[in-house]
Chains A and B, each alone.
Chain A
Amino acid sequence: MEIKQPQKLIIGNKLSDESFITLFMIGVLIILFGLACLVVPNFYLPKNILNLITNNWFIIILGIGVTFVLITGNYDMSVGANIALTGVLSVYFCQGANVSQNTLANGLGLPYGVAVVLALLCAMGVGAVNAFFIAKLKVPSIIVTLGTSMLARGTAQVITQGAQRNTSLPDAFGVLGNWNLPGTPFRLPLLIMIVLITAAFIFERKTIFARRIYLIGANPEAARLSGINVAKYLTMLYIFSGLLAGITGILLASEYQAGVSSRAMGYEFDALVVTLLGGVSVAGGFGSVLGMFVGAIILSVVTSAATGMLLSPDWQFTLKGIVTFLAILAQRYALDKRKG
């Protein structure tokens, strides 16, 4: 009779898988950054490094919502359209009423603050619609969110007749997007992004809500049997994701002082890419917003290096596809190796 050898206990390996992957991606980031510095002159200038983070602030905010949704094993592809819709609505609600003959210059004439609140409510409404179909009717999230994406963008296009609304705006409109912390180049959207990501990271690590989200992703049936109201959590996550998209939409509309129906095209794919780059597993139950942040910087490095190498912008699609693909494979390889 064979005596089985005792299993090798993994003692002393205090680093969680999530932290391992985040560190792994930071390593990848450093390598890519080094390569970029070799290929592109002046890549290492502090101004450029700062740009790497500030260029992507909207993707990072979206990425927070997408990360939590992806951890539960679902997708949210409606965030880009949500941004456009919220921006257009925030313009439409506070454009002066009966100002001119042109219908695109007439709005509802509400005060800016009210317009912002209403637009955010609509953004959350989109999230609620998503949640209804996904949590209640159990329709696959990729299909639902692509559908709501079409609805949201379609609504934005109808309100702007396919173009944009940018006239008869109150003076308060351009403040939020363009406000500078006095004496620094830090604009309000960037500060909001920093606050949100810090809050998200603390939330992810410390709250029971977040722990339950991980369980829902890892094993939905076990979560349900443990008494977690999965539908309620999914609803809250999708409404939260919609709210984040709404905030981004308001800020972008304020920055450009226009509600453009074609804004934020493809942002949902970028948000998904940076989330995947950051190590969030598509199977659910694994990942971190910090990883997503690192993933956003990786994407920044890749795209600005590509621009610096004078590659045509058409390369972006191919690069994003290849980078995502390599990242998924590398992460899986690293995790498999670790598990021994």
Chain B
Amino acid sequence: MNNTLQKNTFRQQIEHSAEIRANIKRYYIYVVLALIVMAFSLMKLDQVTFFGRGHFLSPDSIINLLRSAVPILILSGAFTLLMISGYIDLSVGSAMSLTAVVFSWLILNGSPFLVAISITLVLGLIMGALNGLLVMRLRITPVIATLVTLNLFKGIALLIVPDGTSAIKSTPTQTMPGWINDFARKDVLLGLPWAFWVAILIIVLLTIVQRKTILGKYAAAIGGNRLAAELSGINAVKTIWLLYIIVGFFAAMAGVARASYMSLGDPLSGDGMEFNCLIAVLLGGTAFAGGEGSVTKTVVGALIIICVTIGLMTVIPPYWENLAKGTVLIFAVVLNHLLVQEKIKA
């Protein structure tokens, strides 16, 4: 009788600790975000009051933060879906730059907003399809294939911008219409612009896709074991190709948002976006090889990155940025390893 009692408590202990671990895994990212927000809120308290002007949590600062976060919010959901399936796209940054350049060029040359955005989004679909072609049809490793398209898109973006200027922007002969800013800056609701609410809508949509739709399930299946998925009747080529097209589409939308925010098309504006997305995805607990992941947690990861980048801008000189980002990446990698990879080992 004594033995049974001991066995029960031992099993309870194991279950209890497994439960704790599962809870940590589910909620750690919110804790990290809360800690970072708290850390930045406690800075410069000798100069500003809580929620007052200049403080991290002041309305102006929060609006600025969320407005700058729009491109990564738009992009990280689709990027997560792709990473869940085990594939990566390193060209999203250059795709974003290229679409920003194309969009501003169209607006500068007189296209109305809807026409310009439609053409740009179609361009995004094409870029995604190209990536899909290279990876799935020509069976080039995703890393190399998307590095190739990274250079290709960057090159085309640089070539579109006329020599002597750094970006597509107002010239002595043509002026960029003022309304280009409206999408990404003009206050529509709660002080936030259209672009932000569109991003929220996209995030909700992609969360539903990831959790409830067949596409999301197929992506996870392919990520878990591509061969098993194919033997179960999943057309991996079509599914992954579709995911690349979706990533391209949202990269284009992110490019539109960035161009609208800055009122110009900078062919280098998207550089490093793929790292930001990667860090967000890693922080959010998606495994490298795929098979599991969550759009909402990636979005929280994206918010963490934005807080860190914007927050640090006010506190430290700009040349610390790479070191800070690299540290965050390594931190995300270690965190991801501890929480996610452990499961695979077992």
Stretch binding the partner chain, chosen from B105-113, B155-163, B197-205: B155-163
Q: Decide yes or no whether A283 CB sits under 8 A from chain B.
A: yes
> Which residue on chain A has the smallest CB distance to residue B161?
A314
Q: How far is the CB of B142 from chain A (nearest CB, A)?
A: 10
CA distance A319 to B329 in the complex (A): 31
Q: Are A317 and B275 in contact (CB under 8 A)?
A: no
Output the least CB separation between B322 and chain A (Å): 3
- Which residues of B sit under 8 angstroms from A316, Cβ to Cβ? 155
Stretch at the interface among B30-38, B146-154, B210-218: B146-154
Residue total for A at the interface (Cβ-Cβ under 8 A): 44
Chain A residues within CB distance 8 Å of chain B: 75, 133, 137-140, 142-144, 146-155, 157-158, 160-162, 261, 269, 272, 276, 282-283, 312, 314-322, 324-325, 328-329
Residues of A with C-beta under 8 A to B138 = 329
- The size bracket of the interface on B is 35 or more
Complex: chain A residue closest to B90, CB-CB: A142
Is the CB–CB distance between B326 and A318 below 8 Å?
no
- Chain A contacts of B150 at CB under 8 A? 321
Contact A139 B288 (CB under 8 A): yes
Shortest distance from the beta carbon of B14 to any chain A beta carbon, whole Å: 26
- Complex formed: what's the CA distance from A322 to B154 in Å? 12
Of the residues B163, B282, B319, B325, contact of A162 by C-beta under 8 Å: B319
A–B pairs, 20, beta carbons within 8 Å: A75-B143, A133-B333, A143-B333, A144-B333, A146-B278, A147-B329, A150-B329, A151-B326, A153-B326, A154-B320, A157-B319, A261-B319, A269-B151, A312-B163, A314-B159, A316-B155, A317-B152, A318-B159, A324-B144, A329-B138
Asked if B151 and A318 sit within 8 Å, CB to CB, the answer is yes
Inter-chain contacts of B322 with A (CB < 8 A): 150-151, 153-154, 157
Give the CA-CA distance A315 to B158 in the complex, in Å.
8
Bound CA–CA A76/B155 (angstroms): 23
The chain A residue sitting closest to B144, CB to CB, is A282
CA distance A150 to B329 in the complex (A): 9
User: Does B326 contact A320, Cβ atoms closer than 8 Å?
Assistant: no
Q: When chains A and B are docked, how far (Å) is the Cα of A144 from the Cα of B150?
A: 19
A314 touches B333 (CB 8 A): no
